[in-house]
Amino acid sequence: MKFGNKKPEKIPMYVYYIIAGIIIILLNMLVVPAVQERSVQKTDYSTFIQSVEKGEVTKATVEENYIYYEIGSEDSDDAVLCKTVKMDDPDLVNRLLDADVTMDEVLPESPSIFMTLLLSYVVPIVIFIFIGRWLSKKMMASMGGGPGGTMSFGKSNAKVYVKSSTGIKFSDVAGEDEAKELLTEIVDYLHNPHKYTEIGASMPKGALLVGPPGTGKTLLAKAVAGEAEVPFFSISGSEFVEMFVGMGAAKVRDLFKQANEKAPCIVFIDEIDTIGKKRDGAGFTGGNDEREQTLNQLLTEMDGFDGSKGVVILAATNRPDSLDPALLRPGRFDRRIPVELPDIQGREEILKVHAKKIKIADTVRFDEIAKAAAGASGAELANIVNEAALRAVRDGRKFATQADFEESIEVVIAGYQKKNRVLSNKEKLIVSYHEIGHALVAAKQTESAPVHKITIIPRTSGALGYTMQVDEQEHYLMTKEELENKIATFTGGRAAEELIFHSITTGASNDIEQATKIARAMISRYGMSDDFDMVAMETVSNQYLGGDSSLACSFETQTLLDKKVVDLVRTQHEKALKILQDNIGKLHELAKYLYEHETITGEEFMKILEAPSEIPGVSLTKE
Ligand code: ADP
Ligand code: MG
Ligand code: ZN
C-alpha cells in the first residue's frame, strides 16, 4: 500500500467514482452470468447411467463425492453441466469407457454461491475501500499534513513557501524603511551566518512586527520570504485554536519540529495575539485553558530550539500591549519592529507602487493625493487606487484621472456618494450651514489649515455632509491652542445651526463625540489643565486600534474631571459662536453657494471668504 507516497495528480475525484462504478457494472455483466451459466443441474445416479448408455455424456470427472458430467456435443457451448452423487459402483469406469466418455476435468473449479457473492459484492466493496483510503490520503497530503492517517488532527497546516513562491520582494513594500532595514539584517544572517558567528553575535530568535492594521505587516513578512531564499512557514494564530483541548499545543510542537528539520528557515506567525494574550489568573471560560496550553507550548519551543541553527521566528500583531510579557522577554521576541502608518512621503510611494498596476492619466499628481489622504494606511491607499480605477471604468474611460483619485479618497474614507438619498430642501439648507460653520470657524482661527473640500452629498456611511480638512504639513506635536481650535471647529457646525435656525438637530453627534474625546484627552492625559498639572488620570491601551482608556483616579477627581471637560468644550463652543457671529455675512454667502453647488473646493471657499462682502451690513444686524 504505497498509495500515499504517489504525487497527487490533478484528476477530479468524480473520475475515481465513475471508474469504480464501471468496474462493478462490468463484473455484474460479465463474470456473474458466466458463473451462473455454468450452474449445475442435479440429477440422480440412474439418470446419469441412462445418459451414459444413450451416449449423451461427452465428458465426466469423478470426484470424491460427486460426479460432474457434460451432456451434448463436445465443442458446443450449450453443453449442459450435471452433477450426481457418486455411488459405490465398481462398473462405473468400464461403463464410461464403453460409452466413449472423455475422462477429463469438467470444471476448473466448482462454481458456487460463495464465488458469486465474492465476485459481485465483496470484490467491488474491497475496491471501494481501497479507492476511499487512497483518496483520503491524497486529501491529507494536499492539506499539507503530509501522508498521515485519517486521524492526524495535531498536524499543523503551516504553508511552506520556498524561495520566491510568494513573488513578493522588498521593493513591493513602499515606505517602512526602518522595518525593511531591520528585516534585511535577518535575511542577511540566514544567508551568511558566518559573518555573524565569527564575531560571536547571535541573531535574535524572534522579531515582532507591530503596528496598526493595514500597514503592511503581513506583506513585509511575505517579502522576507521572497528575499530570503530559505523555506518559509506561515501560519496564522487563529489556526492554532482547535476544537479539542491540547490540539493547539500539538500543532505548535509539530510546526517547530518541521522548522527544525528544514533549518535554516523562517517561521511566521500572523496575528499572534490570538494565542499570545496575557494569561490571567482565573479564566472566565474553559476556552482559556486551551489557549494557555498553546501559549505555554510556544514559549517552551522558543526556548528549546537552538538559535544558531538558523530558525528565525517572525510574528505580527496590532495589539502588542495585550501580549503576554513572557513572549516579549529577551530570548523570545526580543526585537520589535514598528510598522507605523505611512507619512506623506510614504503615502506617495505606496500610491505609486499600487498605481503601477492600473492605467493612469499623465496629469495625476500623487503628492496631492497623498496630502489629501492623511492618516490612511497602506491597505486604504491600495483601496483608493483600486477605487479610482473602478470609477474610471464606470465612466467608460481608459485610464484613471486626478478626479477619480480625489473621489475615491472620499469613497474610502467617507463611503460612497448616495445617489438615491435625497435631502429635503430644508435639510439641505441646514446641512449647508452646518458644514460652512465648521469650515468658517476653522479658517478664521488658523490661517494655515484651510478646508480641502466641503460637500453636502450624502454618503453611504451616514454622514450627511462633510468637511475635509487637510493640514499643509503633518503634525506630530499639537499645542494646547491647536487642540482648543480643533474643538471649536467641531462645535462650529452646531453653532451655525443655533445662530441661523435658533434650533438644534441630531446632525452633530459625531462632532460632539470628537470634541469630547479631544477635550478629555487634553485634561486627563496631556496635562493641559491647571487643576491636575502633569498627572495622568487615564491610561490608554490598544493604541493601534483606536485606544481604550481606563480611568485611574478617585471618584471625586473623576467628577471634577468631567466638569472640567464640559467647561472646556463650552468655552470653545462660545468662541465658535462668536466667530460665526462676527462673520455672519460670509456664513450666509458661503452656505448659499454650497446649497446651490453641493460641493465647494478649498480654493473656491477661500476666494469667497477673502472677497469683500457682497451683502454689506448684514454681519452687523445681530449686534
Ligand atoms: P497588516 O498585516 O499590517 O494588517 P497587510 O500586510 O495585510 O496589513 O496589508 C494589506 C494590503 O495593503 C497589502 O496587501 C498591500 O496591498 C497594502 N499595503 C499595506 N502597506 C503597504 C506598503 N507599505 N506598501 C505597499 N502596499 C501596502
Ligand atoms: Mg496582517
Ligand atoms: Zn458637523
Query: For residue range 276-315, what is the model confidence (pLDDT) as tens digits?
Result: 887 765 544 555 677 788 888 888 888 877 667 778 889 9
CB 233 within 8 A of CB 259: yes
Instruction: Give pLDDT, residue 621.
Output: 36
Instruction: Give pLDDT, residue 503.
Output: 85
- Determine the Cα–Cα distance for residues 219 and 172; give it in Å rounded to an integer: 9
Q: Is the CB of 272 under 6 A from ligand 1?
A: no
Mutate to test the pocket of ligand 1, among 215, 386, 544 (most ligand atoms within 8 A of CB): 215
CB 59 within 8 A of CB 69: yes
Q: Is the CB of 382 under 6 A from ligand 1?
A: yes
Distance from residue 449's CA to the centre of ligand 1 (Å) = 30
CB 438 within 8 A of CB 492: yes
Instruction: Give pLDDT, residue 345.
Output: 84
Distance from residue 295's CA to the centre of ligand 2 (Å) = 20
CB 527 within 8 A of CB 470: no
Residue 538, φ and ψ in degrees, nearest 5 = -135, 145
Atom 11 of ligand 1: nearest residue by CA position? 379
Strand pairing class (451-455; 599-601): antiparallel
Identify which of 18-22, 29-33, 404-408 has the greatest average pLDDT: 404-408
Q: Helices marked H in 475-554 — which ranges? A: 480-501, 509-524
Beta partners for residue 85, in sequence order:
66
Q: Is the CB of 175 under 6 A from ligand 1?
A: yes
Distance from residue 343's CA to the centre of ligand 3 (Å) = 26
CB 392 within 8 A of CB 399: yes
- Determine the Cα–Cα distance for residues 357 and 472; give it in Å rounded to an integer: 29
Residue 17 has pLDDT above 50, yes or no: yes
- Determine the Cα–Cα distance for residues 117 and 42; give it in Å rounded to an integer: 21
Q: Is the CB of 174 under 6 A from ligand 1?
A: yes
Instruction: Give pLDDT, residue 153.
Output: 47
Question: pTM for the complete prediction?
Answer: 0.58
Residue 162 has pLDDT above 70, yes or no: no
Q: Is the CB of 529 under 6 A from ligand 1?
A: no
Q: Is the CB of 173 under 6 A from ligand 1?
A: yes
Give the model confidence (pLDDT) of 432-485 as tens digits.
Answer: 999 899 989 988 887 644 567 787 766 555 565 666 665 555 566 888 888 899
Q: What is the mean pLDDT of residues 507-514?
A: 86
CB 351 within 8 A of CB 366: yes
Instruction: Give pLDDT, residue 465.
Output: 62
Residue with the bigger pLDDT between 367 and 418: it is 367
Strand pairing class (466-469; 451-455): antiparallel
Residues surrounding ion ligand 2 at CB below 5 Å: 218
**How far are the Cα atoms of 46, 426, 554, 563 from residue 559, in angstroms, in the given order?**
120, 40, 9, 6
Q: Is the CB of 166 under 6 A from ligand 1?
A: no
Ligand nearest to the CA of 269: 2
Q: Is the CB of 203 under 6 A from ligand 1?
A: no
Q: What is the mean pLDDT of residues 535-555?
A: 73
Residue 555 has pLDDT above 60, yes or no: yes
Residue 622 has pLDDT above 60, yes or no: no
Distance from residue 591's CA to the centre of ligand 3 (Å) = 14
Q: Which atom of ligand 1 is nearest to the CA of 270?
A: 2
Instruction: Give pLDDT, residue 6.
Output: 39
Atom 18 of ligand 1: nearest residue by CA position? 378
Distance from residue 592's CA to the centre of ligand 3 (Å) = 17
Position 245 confidence tier, pLDDT thresholds 50, 70, 90: low
3-state class of 267 per DSSP? strand
CB 534 within 8 A of CB 461: no
CB 134 within 8 A of CB 225: no
Q: Which of 76-80, 383-387, 507-511, 530-534 has the lowest mean pLDDT?
A: 76-80
Among 358, 411, 416, 406, residue whose Cα is nearest residue 380 = 411
- Determine the Cα–Cα distance for residues 289 and 274; give it in Å rounded to an integer: 13
Residue 189 has pLDDT above 50, yes or no: yes
Give the model confidence (pLDDT) of 255-286 as tens digits.
Answer: 888 888 887 888 899 999 888 887 765 544 55
Distance from residue 270's CA to the centre of ligand 2 (Å) = 6
Q: Which residues are catalytic?
A: 435
Q: Which residue has the cell 441646514?
A: 430
